[in-house]
Amino acid sequence: MNKVDHIGIAVQSIEAILPFYTEQLGLKCMAIEEVAAQQVRVAFIDAHNVKIELLEPLRNAGPIAAFLEKRGEGIHHIAFGVRSIQERINDLKEKGIRMIDESPRRGAGGALVAFMHPKSAHGVLYELCEKEEQGEK
Ligand code: ZN
């Protein structure tokens, strides 16, 4: 694993919560986009050494909507930056880790992402996240 890339936080409304991050905490919003495949709208906040990913459900459906209903707003996942994501997935599986995604899918910002099963990670939802520009690191 490389460093932590971002922390995912489930929110009811990006619009409603954004002033907390930008005005009260004084952080910058880098981008807002929709990831239709995962039924979320995503905002990335620049917290300097790490990003904060705000996840808002689209049309009140999908995994984030289900999470909010069950647990309310709060930390949803922690994402490690990785290279060669498929190899990392295979490696983790070999070590007995259960994966939600056995092959990577497209996430926000064009990254390739895959989630570990929280039952294999002692209750934490971890994401592996590979970005094109991490290639040279
Ligand atoms: Zn994420």
Break the chain down into helix, strand, coil percent, rounded to 5: 30, 35, 30
**Segment 44-60 mean pLDDT:** 95
- Domain of residue 93, residue span: 3-134
Q: Which residues are within 5 Å of ligand 1 (an ion), measured at CB? A: 8, 53, 79, 127
Interval 88-126: pLDDT, tens = 999 999 999 999 999 999 988 889 999 999 999 999 999
Q: In angstroms, what is the span from residue 28 Cα to ligand 1's centroid?
A: 18
Question: What is the per-residue pLDDT for 136?
Answer: 43
Q: Tell me, what CATH number does 93's domain have?
A: 3.10.180.10
Question: What is the per-residue pLDDT for 135?
Answer: 45
Q: In angstroms, what is the span from residue 95 Cα to ligand 1's centroid?
A: 23
Q: What sign results for the dihedral spanned by CA atoms 71, 14, 51, 133?
A: positive
Is it the case that residue 36 has pLDDT exceeding 50?
Answer: yes
Is it the case that residue 45 has pLDDT exceeding 50?
Answer: yes
Question: What is the per-residue pLDDT for 137?
Answer: 39
Question: What is the per-residue pLDDT for 99?
Answer: 97
Q: What is the total count of domains within the chain?
A: 1
Count of C-beta atoms within a 10 Å radius of residue 58:
15
